[in-house]
Amino acid sequence: MSILENPTLETVPVTLGTRSYNILIGRGVLAEAGPRIAALFPKARVAIITDTHVEGLHAAALETTLADAGVASTRIIIPAGEPSKSYAGFVHVCDSLLAARIERGDVVLALGGGVVGDLAGFAAASLRRGVAFVQCPTSLLAQVDSSVGGKTGINSSHGKNLIGAFHQPALVLADTALLDTLPMREFRAGYAEVVKYGLIDNPDFFNWCEANATRIFGPGPERDYAVAVSCRAKAAIVARDEREEGDRALLNLGHTFGHALERIVAYDGARLVHGEAVAIGLALAYRFSHYLGHCPGQDATRVSMHLQTLGLPTRLQDVPGGCGTTAGLVEAMAQDKKVVRGSLTFILAHGIGRSFIAKGVEVAQVEAFLDAEFAAQSA
């Protein structure tokens, strides 16, 4: 049997016409990168973009499979952490790709978390007006979210992800064994994006998460299952709405509040990493939905309880060093790209697994809700 027919892998297709691709999920799939890339891109050279944490852990294994398949590669390293998703990081990666003489027919490969994926993808979209891109996500967040769907980009001082491009990968290899080395805090943070899929439109998956979440953190089949369900959910939404003109916005559940919190802490990962901000954002989105009369209070409580059980933050007061004031948070939300002509768009919910897009939410309602949240903390 050819390695390309490995039956232990889960394959999730992302159906986007000529830009369709497969996500391969399972322990050990990284070892197949060489033959798979050689099959897709004969004669291509591969530029591996990775970060200072992942490089020492997993780059050698990737280079071995590429070399064994006769694929030449070069390694470009960025400092680990969100600040690399910047103009300076972009310049560094693009100049390194040009210095390595990566051409139109070559491949840019992201080996890392969402920071590496977003930055490398944007560089791949821009270099020589677009070169092929392969994702080898190494964080849980990247495996279930950022490596799928083709959004790439960098942050600006005006906000997160404001500069970027849609550039679909040609292949995603999600090796769940790589998560064995992921720090627990990052694992938990990525889990917020996993449970998000249950909350968006899959109440059965949320129930499953409540019963099985702790096993996802271990190396067993539950982890692979959770990654596969998440990728299938994201692939389905992306296939319906690649450019976020409609349904894709549902993926932003928890992110309007979450991005505002990240902005308030100036993207300081020591205080709050993306998934932690999303966890607080999910809890707030459900409490806000209840506050506005859309969602039963017990569902909002269930969401918070579940996140708390796993050690995730759920309240404004959980942000180390605090998160300012209602006015500051609303100002931070108003900077978000989901603001359209002064009115705020939120993803709210009628209950677990019943999210919806709420356009034109009045700022006064948000302010009153946040005032109540701050007051509840100090009570």
Ligand X SMILES: NC(=O)c1ccc[n+]([C@@H]2O[C@H](COP(=O)([O-])OP(=O)(O)OC[C@H]3O[C@@H](n4cnc5c(N)ncnc54)[C@H](O)[C@@H]3O)[C@@H](O)[C@H]2O)c1
Q: Does 244 bind ligand X (CB under 6 A)?
A: no
Contacting residue, 62, 125, 182, 200, with ligand X by CB under 6 A:
182
Structure tokens at 21: 């691709």
Q: Are 46 and 72 in contact (CB under 8 A)?
A: yes
Q: H/E element holding 224?
A: helix 221-240
Q: Does 274 bind ligand X (CB under 6 A)?
A: yes
Closest approach of ligand X to the CB of residue 174, in Å:
11
If DSSP codes are grouped into helix, strand and coil, which group holds residue 154? strand
Contacting residue, 24, 97, 102, 141, with ligand X by CB under 6 A:
141
Q: Where are the alpha helices (DSSP H) in 155-220?
A: 184-201, 203-216
Per-residue binding string, ligand X, 306-345, x by CB under 6 A, is: ----------------------------------------
Query: Does residue 167 have an active-site annotation?
Result: no
Query: Does residue 129 have an active-site annotation?
Result: yes
Identify which of residues 161 and 301 has a Cβ nearer to ligand X in the complex: 161
Q: How far apart are CA 72 and CA 148, in angstroms?
A: 25
Local structure of residue 142 (DSSP, 8 states): I
Structure tokens at 156: 């600006």
196 Cβ neighbours under 8 A, 6+ residues apart: 251, 253, 254, 278, 282
Query: Does residue 196 have an active-site annotation?
Result: no
Sheet with 21-26, side-by-side order of all strands: 10-14, 21-26, 171-175, 132-137, 107-112, 46-51, 73-78
* Active-site entry in 53, 234, 287, 290: 234
Closest approach of ligand X to the CB of residue 85, in Å:
5
* Active-site entry in 53, 196, 255, 263: 255
Query: Does residue 290 have an active-site annotation?
Result: no
Q: Are 81 and 273 in contact (CB under 8 A)?
A: no
Query: Does residue 244 have an active-site annotation?
Result: yes
Q: How far apart are CA 168 and CA 203, in angstroms?
A: 29
318 Cβ neighbours under 8 A, 6+ residues apart: 280
Task: Pick out residues in 23-52 that bind ligand X (CB under 6 A).
Answer: 51
Query: Does residue 274 have an active-site annotation?
Result: yes
Alpha carbon separation from 259 to 106, 158, 163, 300 (Å, rounded) = 34, 12, 15, 20
If DSSP codes are grouped into helix, strand and coil, which group holds residue 138? coil
Q: Does 276 bind ligand X (CB under 6 A)?
A: no
Closest approach of ligand X to the CB of residue 49, in Å:
11
Query: Does residue 255 have an active-site annotation?
Result: yes
Q: Does 175 bind ligand X (CB under 6 A)?
A: no
Q: Are 90 and 165 in contact (CB under 8 A)?
A: no
* Active-site entry in 10, 193, 242, 262: 193
Contacting residue, 81, 89, 169, 313, with ligand X by CB under 6 A:
81
Query: Does residue 151 have an active-site annotation?
Result: yes
Query: Does residue 252 have an active-site annotation?
Result: yes
Q: Does 57 bind ligand X (CB under 6 A)?
A: yes
Query: Does residue 222 have an active-site annotation?
Result: no
Contacting residue, 112, 258, 313, 353, with ligand X by CB under 6 A:
112
Contacting residue, 10, 32, 118, 299, with ligand X by CB under 6 A:
118
The residues pairing with 153 across neighbouring beta strands, listed in sequence order, are 164
Binding residues (CB under 6 A) for ligand X: these are 51, 53-54, 57, 80-82, 85, 112-116, 118, 138-139, 141-142, 145-146, 149, 151, 160-161, 178-179, 181-183, 186, 189, 274-275
Q: Which residues are catalytic, by number?
A: 129, 151, 193, 234, 244, 248, 252, 255, 259, 274
